[in-house]
Chains A and B, each alone.
Chain A
Amino acid sequence: MSQNQVQAFINRMKNDGQFRQDIISCTNIEERINRCKVSGYNISQEDILSLMLNYEKKHSVKKNLPNTWLCKGPCHTQCTDISLDC
């Protein structure tokens, strides 16, 4: 399944409480996948895992999109995040 379709499925889970409840209340992943198929989403466990890992990857990028607004030089590819060590 394409990433956009998986995203559409997650968006419906987010916005449709009843649908989310129907899916999550299933006792195991296999049953959830079957329930998804009944609802028109031909989703695999790998699809969901892949989307989850994509979120993690996206959140772990060291750059900051709003900050590129002001920068010209190559350092804007890795804005400095100096962690507190106090």
Chain B
Amino acid sequence: MLFWSRYNRIIRNPDLGYFLYNSLSNVFIELDECHFKLIEQLSYSSSVTKNGIEPQFLNTLLANYILVEKDTESKILMERHYKRLQSCFDNTHLFLTICPTLRCNFSCPYCYEQSQESTTIMNKETINQLIKFIKKFSDTKHLSIAWYGGEPTLAFDVICDITKKINDIDIIFDQASLITNGYLLDKKKIDKLKSLNIKSIQTTIDGFEGTHNSRRTLKGGFPTYQKIIDNIDYLMNSSFNGSCHIRVNVDKKNAKEYPKLNEYLQNKYEGSNVFIYAGNVEATGNQKYDIKYTFCSSEWSRFALELYRGNSVSTDGKIYPLGNLHKICAANTHNSLIIGPDGELYKCWKDVGNVEMVIGNIFNEDYLVNRELVALYNIGTDPYLDSKCLECYYLPICGGGCANLRFRSKFLNEKGLEFCSLYKDHIDEYLMEYYDEVKSKDLCMDFLNINHDTIENGYRIIQSNIETDKIVK
């Protein structure tokens, strides 16, 4: 016996037509009126018989979990949970985020870190202990490092020293990334990036010169825009062959400027491995920053849609949901740790410098001290163990959201934290926007006499995550 999947969603749009979306398979189907009526009938039925459904269409409905057997969905979710846990507890890779210092030369008003006044720089003893600590992971074959801070370039010698020592360890050092404000990333440092195995740089520009310099200043208020741009210019013209991700922290103050900045930077770095993207400024309770300027989820959703509409080519990303999203990060991955300059350990980037969130120290024989905190992050934020999430239509395309926000909401009882997927309240808008572009592309193809799928047979799959032939039973 077959059943109408609870992950189905029928959309009737007066301008664009009839559609069916399933969040479990992440398939999006366009229907003609006849097939739409059939689908509507199926949705009303408590159980479905195959009679009266043409074989090819039936095959599509089965393959994409539109029609399912009893328990199919729960088994799929269980399998996904298993895969998620496999990834979370994989011990073949070690992912370390290392803060050689928590000191920062900037004074960004919205910063969520609490220890920028700290002057500690990782010392020789801690560096040596860090190497011993890495050696303890004897089952681990691969190592990846993110250099973070504070501002890691303030302790560049530490980065060089640690890298040199790691190269002498019997471990495959896959790659490193560097999260920097870019101000001190000068020629001398850039020329060393290759030898440091740094393949990805993340830096931040918050707007054109005036806007950026009103937000991201040096301590003392000095401007930083031109120097950062000069450094990126040199970086992308150097022998560095990695990628550079320019984050733009967007809030209500600079949102209008972002599309033009994006276009400007894209043109400036066209053909090179530079990716520009908008990230939202999170309300942190920092007294230097008025939280009225931050976006709430629905405002960000609108911003994302407008951004997508406005840019014919965008490196910000697409808006069609990512299917089977696991959404794991350092916080819920066992072999991912954040290491502070004194060797203290954290589970989340946002916790750096917060003594209450320290989970252990590399100097301890058993490095984990606060196992409860680790368990709360690893297991307590698992959406598959949350009855509300497990019941949620959006779980397959949400993956549970930010572990830190879930943790703070669930275990620290912080109010007003929004960690659900933006798709939750806006899925129809996103799907219709996506379809509108597919339609535009179709018209281009029609104009150029290029064949494309049509709705001639009554329906067409616009987007699918599944190789159909593999799952038809």
Contact = CB atoms under 8 A, between A and B. Distances in A.
B241 to A, nearest CB: 17
A38 interface: no
Interface of A: 3, 7, 10-11, 13-14, 20, 23-24, 28-29, 32, 45, 48-49, 51-52, 54-59, 61-77, 79-86
Contacts of B426: 66
Contacts of B330: 73
Given A32-B447, A64-B317, A81-B324, A73 B329 contact: yes
Nearest to A62: B317
B332 interface: no
Contact of B312 (A13, A45, A58, A64): A58
B215 interface: no
B149 interface: no
A9 to B, nearest CB: 9
Interface centre among A11, A32, A54 (most CB of B within 10 A): A54
A22 B197 CA distance: 58
Interface string B273-312: 0010111101000000000000001001100100110011
B313 A57 contact: yes
B445 interface: yes
Contacts of B436: 14
B324 A59 contact: no
B319 A82 contact: no
Interface stretch (B115-123, B155-163, B416-424): B416-424
Contacts of B181: none
Contacts of B321: 64, 66
Contact of B304 (A32, A65, A82): A65
Contacts of A80: 322, 325-328
B202 A74 contact: yes
Contact of A66 (B328, B430, B441): B430
A48 B447 CA distance: 8
B312 A51 contact: yes
B140 interface: no
Contacts of B419: 70
A29 to B, nearest CB: 6
Contacts of B35: none
13 contacts: A14-B439, A49-B448, A54-B312, A62-B317, A63-B275, A65-B316, A66-B423, A69-B300, A72-B279, A72-B350, A73-B330, A77-B277, A84-B25
Contacts of B297: 69
B217 to A, nearest CB: 21
Question: Do most interface residues of chain B lie in helix, strand or loop, or is the interface mixed?
Answer: mixed
A23 B419 CA distance: 47
Contact of A73 (B278, B322, B349, B401): B349
A54 B445 CA distance: 13
B465 interface: yes
Given A61-B318, A65-B304, A66-B304, A23 B447 contact: yes
Leading 3 A-B pairs by shortest Cβ distance: A63-B317, A52-B444, A66-B422
A68 B277 contact: yes
Interface core residue of A28, A45, A51, A58 (most chain B CB under 10 Å)? A58
Nearest to A23: B447
A62 to B, nearest CB: 8
Interface string B48-82: 00000000000000000000000000001001000
B440 A55 contact: yes
B340 interface: no
A74 B146 contact: yes
B368 interface: no
B314 interface: yes
Given A71-B402, A72-B350, A63 B277 contact: yes
Given A29-B449, A52-B448, A66-B430, A14 B323 contact: no
A30 to B, nearest CB: 11
B449 to A, nearest CB: 6
Nearest to B245: A77
A84 B325 CA distance: 10
B466 interface: yes
B325 A81 contact: yes
A24 to B, nearest CB: 6
B129 interface: no
Contacts of A81: 322-325, 465
B294 to A, nearest CB: 11
A2 B408 CA distance: 48
